[in-house]
Chain A
Amino acid sequence: MTLLTLTQITRDFHLRGGLFGGRRVLRALDGIDLEIARGETLSLVGESGCGKSTLGRIVAGLQSPSSGEILINGKPALRGKARARQIQIVFQDPFGSLNPKMSVGALIAEPATLHGLVSRRDAPQRVQELMRLVGLRGALAERFPHELSGGQRQRVALARALATEPELIVCDEAVSALDVSVQAQIANLLQDIQKKTGISLLFISHGLSLVRHISHRVAVMYLGRIVEQGEAEQVFANPLHPYTRALISATPEPLPGTGGNRLELEGEIPSPLALPSGCTFRSRCPHATERCAAAQPPLETTGHAAACWHVDSLPEYAPRQTTPPERMRAALDLYRSAAARRTPPLEETIN
């Protein structure tokens, strides 16, 4: 069942170009169509500046689209408090997203009491429930954000988002600022919570490794447009769009030099103020032809589809060689023995 439907969402930013520059328009989002089903995790991936955060903020109601329609449960999306009840957002920087003047307990209780979900008297109990749900010790309710670690703060932010009992949580790079081990913990936590509550997640990220692990569906964005979307497994196993292929190929390899040939993109991302005509990716695409300059390729909104004129004529996708397990093991053994030789025995260090 569809929870959220975005139709032709466009967002323009008006820039003033200095004293005599006149006004210029930056189109951050251009005709985004997207659907999120109940209990589904949809990941939005793309380079910095491709508009994925703007889209997340529009979904959460922090910004309005310049044009387009947002439907929640088939009805036009409401604003303010009503939207807050349905959709919540968790931000990237856990050090900036919690009001430093409020205790953890107050931060988590605030949305619940604001929306009248618990009485002020029952709030502490609800806070404890939510803290248990996100894996925080109840005693931390008395602490202030600056006394917590990054992972703990992000759990508080999540508990705060869950407190309004929303149907969708936008995770705007919610794990990118955390240590890798903590990233995995938070990602697993998100999955657990989804299993328990049936909540939908819009997971915005620029890193692909986690996305593959946690999402049901993936939408790849490039310069304000969605260029490919589909089931996560399909997209990763057989990426259709040249940009998606390059993106997947850019995932770091644990053992450098063993990963086989890497598909590298030429050139820079064009300025969003002077986009190429037709397909915006054509300036960096190895397969671009005149047709790509003439018109913007359409994107099917169902199934696995890519916005590319040459989907059918592109070369067969050859996944990049990953480091074979035995090479990985050999490299690790080598590293360990070298490290052991370098480190003096413990007794020597003490004396």
Chain B
Amino acid sequence: MSDATAFAARGRTWRRLRRNPMMTLALGVLMLITLAAILAPVLTPFDPYETNIRARLKPPGDGHILGTDSQGRDLLTRLLYGARTTLLIGFVGTGFGALLGGTIGLCAAFYRRLDSVLMRIIDVFLSFPSILFGLSLAAMLGPGLDSLIFAVGLSVMPGIARISRGAALSIMAQDYMDSGRAIGLPVQRLLSGYLLANAYPPILTYTTLAFGDAVLLAATLGFLGLGLQPPTAELGSIAAEGRSFLFLAPHVSTAASVLIFVIVLSFNLLGDALRDAGDRRSV
């Protein structure tokens, strides 16, 4: 029965979400893209790395749905594998950023002594444009999946830290935090079961929005050549590669860019819908 009540509350949010058609569309598109990216090896008969000089820059159709790129590789296959990499960077990077930023935000609100120190550090992070910040980090750490994820994570972290601190501060002012302390709960339980359990909705919303930024940043770094090195398929670098043949074969860059656009837009729509549906004062 307790599950049922919790379920009912969750059901309300869910219904409110479903009433928003844009959000259903965004979620559907994202699920479709993610699924296609995961199932890429099953979905396409082509190898994303095998080149074919005789079939270079073919326009869409004729065996290749989206045509081929400058090395004669099937573009759709490249995009699917590219989406794999880009989404992986986005997901893991944002996850890392949310974990770090969330912890910093919650600690700043919980330990008031740490607050000003932590927040001044976050201010320093925030004062760099995230593109510039990601760029310099990626350049410093050198190319590679790990350093890309790290750069993306650190770029989204400060925003999440801010939001978490704000959300946690409003919960800290509630009597039930004192009630938890009064019964002698250990700090970790206060932080997770009391503070995070009640402060998470705005953090989750913001993190969803940050996914979009993270994917865009990953693609941007790829486009600028600071991401994964060729021949690794990555949406940003595919778009960059196609740029050299923009007049000869516009489909390469266009297809990659449209895919990036659709992913980022969907994340933003999803985040907006989540905010509208879930950001009421929690029951």
Contacts from A to B (Cβ < 8 Å): 57, 60-62, 80-85, 88-89, 91-93, 96-103, 105-106, 110-111, 114-115, 142-144, 146-147, 157, 160-161, 163-164
**Closest B residue to A146 using CB positions:** B283
Find out whether the CB atom of A160 lies under 8 angstroms from the CB atom of B183: yes
Find out whether the CB atom of A62 lies under 8 angstroms from the CB atom of B175: no
Do A160 and B179 contact each other (CB < 8 Å), given the known contacts A101-B198, A142-B5? yes
Contacts of A102 in B (CB 8 A): 193
**Closest A residue to B9 using CB positions:** A144
Find out whether the CB atom of B184 lies under 8 angstroms from the CB atom of A84: yes
The minimal Cβ–Cβ distance linking A107 to chain B, given in whole angstroms, is 9
Find out whether the CB atom of A143 lies under 8 angstroms from the CB atom of B179: no
Find out whether the CB atom of B183 lies under 8 angstroms from the CB atom of A99: no
Contacts of B14 in A (CB 8 A): none
How far apart sit A284 and B193, CA to CA, in the bound complex (Å)? 48
Q: Which 6 A-B pairs have the closest CB atoms?
A: A84-B184, A81-B184, A97-B175, A111-B183, A142-B1, A96-B175
Given A62, A98, A115, A142, which contacts B182 in the complex, CB threshold below 8 Å?
A62
Judge if B143 is at the interface, Cβ distance under 8 Å. no
Contacts of A89 in B (CB 8 A): 178-179, 182
Contacts of B175 in A (CB 8 A): 91-93, 96-97
Contacts of B178 in A (CB 8 A): 57, 62, 89, 91, 97
Q: Count contacts on B: residues with CB < 8 A to the other chain.
A: 21
Contacts of A163 in B (CB 8 A): 183
Find out whether the CB atom of B5 lies under 8 angstroms from the CB atom of A99: no
Identify which of B180, B182, B185, B198 gathers the most chain A CB atoms within 10 Å of its CB.
B182
How far apart sit A160 and B194, CA to CA, in the bound complex (Å)? 15
Extra contacts, 6 of them, besides A97-B176, A100-B282 (Cβ < 8 A), are A84-B184, A91-B175, A91-B178, A160-B179, A160-B183, A164-B184
How far apart sit A124 and B282, CA to CA, in the bound complex (Å)? 27
Given A93, A114, A160, which contacts B184 in the complex, CB threshold below 8 Å?
A114
How far apart sit A146 and B12, CA to CA, in the bound complex (Å)? 15
Do A98 and B179 contact each other (CB < 8 Å), given the known contacts A103-B2, A147-B5? yes
How far apart sit A84 and B181, CA to CA, in the bound complex (Å)? 8
Do A114 and B197 contact each other (CB < 8 Å), given the known contacts A98-B176, A99-B176? no
Find out whether the CB atom of B179 lies under 8 angstroms from the CB atom of A101: no
Judge if B174 is at the interface, Cβ distance under 8 Å. yes
What sequence of 0s and 1s flags, for each residue 222-258 of chain B, a beta carbon within 8 Å of any chain A beta carbon?
0000000000000000000000000000000000000
Contacts of A115 in B (CB 8 A): 184
Do A164 and B183 contact each other (CB < 8 Å), given the known contacts A99-B194, A101-B198, A142-B5? yes
Given B2, B6, B183, B283, which contacts A84 in the complex, CB threshold below 8 Å?
B183
**Closest B residue to A96 using CB positions:** B175
How far apart sit A60 and B182, CA to CA, in the bound complex (Å)? 7
**Closest A residue to B183 using CB positions:** A111
> Which residues in window 75-103 of B have CB below 8 A to A?
none
What sequence of 0s and 1s flags, for each residue 1-33 of chain B, a beta carbon within 8 Å of any chain A beta carbon?
110011000000000000000000000000000
Contacts of A106 in B (CB 8 A): 2
Find out whether the CB atom of A88 lies under 8 angstroms from the CB atom of B5: no
Do A61 and B180 contact each other (CB < 8 Å), given the known contacts A100-B283, A103-B2? no
Given B5, B176, B184, B185, which contacts A83 in the complex, CB threshold below 8 Å?
B184
**Closest B residue to A105 using CB positions:** B2
How far apart sit A144 and B175, CA to CA, in the bound complex (Å)? 17
How far apart sit A143 and B2, CA to CA, in the bound complex (Å)? 7
* Interchain residue pairs with CB less than 8 A apart (18): A60-B182, A62-B178, A62-B182, A81-B184, A83-B184, A88-B182, A96-B176, A99-B176, A99-B193, A99-B198, A101-B193, A101-B197, A102-B193, A110-B183, A114-B183, A142-B1, A142-B2, A161-B182
Contacts of A142 in B (CB 8 A): 1-2, 5
> Which residues in window 107-164 of B have CB below 8 A to A?
none
Find out whether the CB atom of A85 lies under 8 angstroms from the CB atom of B184: yes
Contacts of B181 in A (CB 8 A): 62
Find out whether the CB atom of A157 lies under 8 angstroms from the CB atom of B179: yes
**Closest B residue to A93 using CB positions:** B175
**Closest A residue to B179 using CB positions:** A97
**Closest B residue to A61 using CB positions:** B182
Find out whether the CB atom of A84 lies under 8 angstroms from the CB atom of B179: no
Contacts of B197 in A (CB 8 A): 99, 101
Find out whether the CB atom of A144 lies under 8 angstroms from the CB atom of B283: yes
How far apart sit A85 and B185, CA to CA, in the bound complex (Å)? 11
How far apart sit A163 and B5, CA to CA, in the bound complex (Å)? 25
How far apart sit A61 and B182, CA to CA, in the bound complex (Å)? 7
Find out whether the CB atom of B1 lies under 8 angstroms from the CB atom of A91: no
How far apart sit A161 and B5, CA to CA, in the bound complex (Å)? 25
How far apart sit A100 and B200, CA to CA, in the bound complex (Å)? 13
**Closest B residue to A170 using CB positions:** B182
> Which residues in window 164-196 of B have CB below 8 A to A?
174-176, 178-185, 193-194
How far apart sit A80 and B181, CA to CA, in the bound complex (Å)? 8
The minimal Cβ–Cβ distance linking A92 to chain B, given in whole angstroms, is 8
Find out whether the CB atom of B176 lies under 8 angstroms from the CB atom of A143: no
Identify which of B6, B176, B178, B198 gathers the most chain A CB atoms within 10 Å of its CB.
B176
How far apart sit A144 and B6, CA to CA, in the bound complex (Å)? 9
Contacts of B194 in A (CB 8 A): 99
Find out whether the CB atom of A100 lies under 8 angstroms from the CB atom of B198: yes
**Closest A residue to B182 using CB positions:** A89
Given B1, B176, B185, B283, which contacts A114 in the complex, CB threshold below 8 Å?
B185
**Closest A residue to B281 using CB positions:** A100
Find out whether the CB atom of B283 lies under 8 angstroms from the CB atom of A80: no
How far apart sit A143 and B1, CA to CA, in the bound complex (Å)? 8
Find out whether the CB atom of A99 lies under 8 angstroms from the CB atom of B179: yes
